[in-house]
Chains A and B, each alone.
Chain A
């Protein structure tokens, strides 16, 4: 079974530029999560999708971050414009359903450096 795929693995941009990350969850997983992991900290949930609907985006900085999950499969997370404090690893995870009983499987992450 293929795991959660993310691309790119690394990205370096200048502040005020835009960037997009892509995630392909495990086949059949209805729930998809995007986390932000700042160096030295634990992951923080940015947004949670159930199929193609948003369940929770309360911690997503909506003035600059946006995310979508068209057709309930792949998802993209966009930052526009980027700030220095957005430098972090962005992790995508998926689970079978949006219940804590189901394990979340994580992708390798995208490391973003904003200069």
Chain B
């Protein structure tokens, strides 16, 4: 069975600073994707960034980047130049056959002005 663990229930960052959210997973699958989703207080889940497991290069999307360590089964999200609008719940998710997603427990990020 696949599991996803986010060990940081809450994180805080100063505006314009950088923050890293941690995620570890466990699987026996060889073909999978990893995702970070953002869920603002309005509750609509939005995809932030994704990483294909077969790709060694870490994914980047503007201010968001990941550190994917396949052997360690680690998938962290780095947010650079944090903005007030980045405040939200962030979920790490493991995606595999048939489009299924397994979500972690979430990390609540607050951004201080």
A42 touches B100 (CB 8 A): no
For A89, the closest partner residue in chain B by CB is: B43
Those of B1-53 within 8 Å (CB) of chain A = 4, 32-33, 42-47, 50
B96 touches A100 (CB 8 A): yes
A101 touches B98 (CB 8 A): no
Which residue of B42, B43, B50 has the most chain A CB atoms within 10 A of its CB atom? B43
B98 touches A99 (CB 8 A): yes
A102 touches B99 (CB 8 A): yes
A106 touches B45 (CB 8 A): yes
A42 to B104, CA, bound (A): 6
Indicate whether A108 sits within 8 Å of B43 (C-beta atoms), given known contacts A41-B105, A42-B106. Answer: yes
Interface residue tally of chain B, by bracket?
20 to 34
**CB of B103 closer than 8 Å to a CB of A:** yes
Indicate whether A56 sits within 8 Å of B98 (C-beta atoms), given known contacts A42-B91, A44-B103. Answer: yes
Main secondary structure of the interface of A (DSSP, over half): loop
Residues of chain B within 8 A of A25, CB atoms compared: none
**B44 partner, pick from A40, A44, A45, A107, beta carbons under 8 A:** A107
Residues of chain A within 8 A of B42, CB atoms compared: 108
A99 to B98, CA, bound (A): 5
For B104, the closest partner residue in chain A by CB is: A42
A31 touches B99 (CB 8 A): yes
A100 touches B97 (CB 8 A): yes
Number of chain A residues whose Cβ lies closer than 8 Å to a Cβ of chain B:
29
For A93, the closest partner residue in chain B by CB is: B45
In the assembled complex, the CB of B24 is this many whole angstroms from the nearest CB of chain A, namely 14
A104 to B35, CA, bound (A): 11
**CB of A24 closer than 8 Å to a CB of B:** no
Residues of chain B within 8 A of A75, CB atoms compared: none
- Interface flags for A44-71 (1: CB within 8 Å of B; 0: not) read 1100100000011000000000000000
A100 touches B99 (CB 8 A): yes
B103 touches A42 (CB 8 A): yes
